[in-house]
Chains A and B, each alone.
Chain A
Amino acid sequence: MDATPMRNVAGASDKKAPKMVIAGATKYYQTRTGSVHALDNVSLDVRDGEFLCILGPSGCGKSTLLWSMGGLHGLTDGEIRLGAEKIIKPHPEIAMIFQDANLLPWRNLAANIALPFELKRKPVDQQRIDMLLKRVNLWGFESKFPRELSGGMQQRASIVRSLSVNPSLLLMDEPFGALDAFTRDEMNLLIQEIWMETGKTIVFITHSISEAIFLADRVVVMSARPGRIASVFDIDIPRPRPVDIQTRPDFIERVLHIKASIDHGRSPSDGLAIT
């Protein structure tokens, strides 16, 4: 599986300077039972303004890669740069969105959204927050606590929280993984709209092939143990993409194509074959 032709630096042909450069990212975790090789020499350019999906099975190091991009933990080898700056700690231009919304249960919605401002010791940009709340249909829910909101509303609130500080790069770690299929479609549409309206660069992690194709300009497929980039697919479906696009034959063909490439790269012992 090392012989995949597209494994080299993706996006290097792009003329515009990339938003973020990942060069030879390698990460080992030291655990009680020894060291775990999570990332192996991952090189990737994130283009300015693109919607990039990182797709892979669980344990392929995609979250590790995203956390490193967000400056939450260091690499064993290689480096990640945002423009000219090396990312070694969280950067104000980068905001992260986590699995399960990750709201603080002891704070109401307004206080949850104000958290980034509190941590940065800056005055709360209420105008921008109100605009965003209206945009995602959460206007009027500010005094509610997370437990009083549905999963979709919670995740919308966490999107508002991240956008409130106006970052230019959004890192999303399987944000809609815990939602039901209907809510998930809704959220995918919303995030596509937000991306088109704001022109932010988004890196989105998922283990759903169709979600990746639906959202992305490019899909980066990762393989596991150790985590490395297996292949990169360009998705040139015109936008805005409606939800029902996912039932169209050419969409399904893309899904099967990516699925085949994943199965092909996997050794037979890794999974059960369905016959």
Chain B
Amino acid sequence: MDKALGDKIPEFNRKKAGGGGDGVGLSGTSLGLGDHRTKLETLAIILVAVVIIGGAELLLKWFNVPQYVLPTPSLIIMALFTEWGFIWPHLLVTLKELLLGFAIGASIGFVLAAVITQFPFVEKIVTPYILLLVTTPMLALVPLLILKLGFGSEPRIIAVALASGPMVMINSATGFRRVDLAKIALARSFGASTFQIFTKIRIPMAMPMIIVGLMVGSIFGLLTTVGAEMVGGAEGLGNRLTYYSALIRMPQFFAIILILAIIGISIYVLFYWIGKKWASWET
């Protein structure tokens, strides 16, 4: 018996006309969050984590690796707790910059995508500049922004908006470009206005790509926040990274990295669930 086929019911997802085939759906990321796992799979996942973390702990101790080269996992966790009182104000600064910058960038990106895709001529003219924004690391602008706006949060928020906005825009635009004439004709035949076609047909149809854009945009936003904090200023988790590494306080340094990893994973999980809820119709 063919193993790949196994007990599969011989019925295939007939890809219906329309809906477009250019979607990069969230299901493409096969991390399988929230999908049904067997007990064995859960157990294996935990076991592997224990082996990796425990193994690192043992190996680092066994070979007497000095703390300033690579601290053991237990030291990192301990540093996280002992240093928490000093860390959390910086965490708040980072989150504030990320959320504000992302909110501004994503809103502008979304609105621009929605408007521009309605005018193919304008889209052709604007797209190269958006690509420029997407491909140029916005971190490069941070020193300039600091020069103009000082060492506060503002230059970093602007950098985050500049980094996440174009990502949201370019993905949303791909979504809005997926025109299904039959569905628009359907709505129109029931007397839909242009605005109703936008809210009832175009937005839901673009939703899977909009969510992908928001996810990629927010991750880019996180990168830019931390990078911008490392460039200048005296607050934020990025600043703490340079601070602790300058003092060679490696457990604290890795504790910060752990926090950043948790923020990143949280963003992914958040949008994974949003995608599941609002874009699950597209398999």
Assuming the contacts A98-B186, A102-B183, A104-B183, asked whether A119 and B191 have C-beta atoms less than 8 A apart, the reply is yes
In the complex formed, the residue of B with least CB distance to A91 is B191
CA distance A116 to B188 in the complex (A): 10
Q: Do B182 and A105 have beta carbons less than 8 Å apart?
A: no
Q: Is B281 an interface residue when CB atoms closer than 8 A count as contact?
A: yes
Q: Do B281 and A95 have beta carbons less than 8 Å apart?
A: no
CB distance from B129 to the nearest CB of A (A): 27
Q: Is B42 an interface residue when CB atoms closer than 8 A count as contact?
A: no
Assuming the contacts A100-B17, A104-B201, A119-B196, asked whether A145 and B190 have C-beta atoms less than 8 A apart, the reply is no
CA distance A115 to B279 in the complex (A): 19
Which residues of B sit under 8 angstroms from A90, Cβ to Cβ? Answer: 188-191
Question: Which of A99, A100, A107, A165 touches B190 (beta carbons < 8 Å)?
Answer: A165
Which residues of B sit under 8 angstroms from A115, Cβ to Cβ? Answer: 187, 190, 200
Q: Is B29 an interface residue when CB atoms closer than 8 A count as contact?
A: no
Interface residues of B in 253-283 (CB under 8 A from A): 279, 281-283
In the complex formed, the residue of A with least CB distance to B184 is A72
CA distance A3 to B192 in the complex (A): 42
Which residues of B sit under 8 angstroms from A77, Cβ to Cβ? Answer: none
CB distance from A206 to the nearest CB of B (A): 17
Which residues of B sit under 8 angstroms from A92, Cβ to Cβ? Answer: 191
In the complex formed, the residue of B with least CB distance to A151 is B14
Q: Do A147 and B281 have beta carbons less than 8 Å apart?
A: yes
Which residues of A sit under 8 angstroms from B182, Cβ to Cβ? Answer: 98-100, 102
CA distance A71 to B191 in the complex (A): 10
Which residues of B sit under 8 angstroms from A165, Cβ to Cβ? Answer: 190
In the complex formed, the residue of A with least CB distance to B186 is A102
Assuming the contacts A90-B191, A106-B204, A106-B281, asked whether A100 and B16 have C-beta atoms less than 8 A apart, the reply is yes
Q: Is B106 an interface residue when CB atoms closer than 8 A count as contact?
A: no
Q: Do A67 and B283 have beta carbons less than 8 Å apart?
A: no
Which residues of B sit under 8 angstroms from A105, Cβ to Cβ? Answer: 16, 19, 281-282
Q: Do A72 and B185 have beta carbons less than 8 Å apart?
A: yes
Interface residues of B in 195-245 (CB under 8 A from A): 196, 200-201, 204-205, 207
In the complex formed, the residue of B with least CB distance to A67 is B185
Q: Is A96 an interface residue when CB atoms closer than 8 A count as contact?
A: yes
CA distance A118 to B190 in the complex (A): 10
The 10 closest A-B pairs by CB, nearest first: A116-B190, A106-B281, A96-B189, A105-B281, A119-B192, A119-B190, A106-B204, A102-B182, A90-B189, A102-B186
A/B interface sample: 29 pairs, CB < 8 A: A70-B189, A72-B189, A90-B189, A90-B190, A90-B191, A92-B191, A94-B189, A95-B189, A96-B185, A96-B189, A98-B182, A98-B185, A99-B182, A100-B17, A100-B182, A104-B183, A105-B19, A106-B205, A106-B207, A106-B279, A106-B281, A115-B187, A115-B190, A115-B200, A119-B187, A119-B190, A120-B191, A147-B281, A147-B283
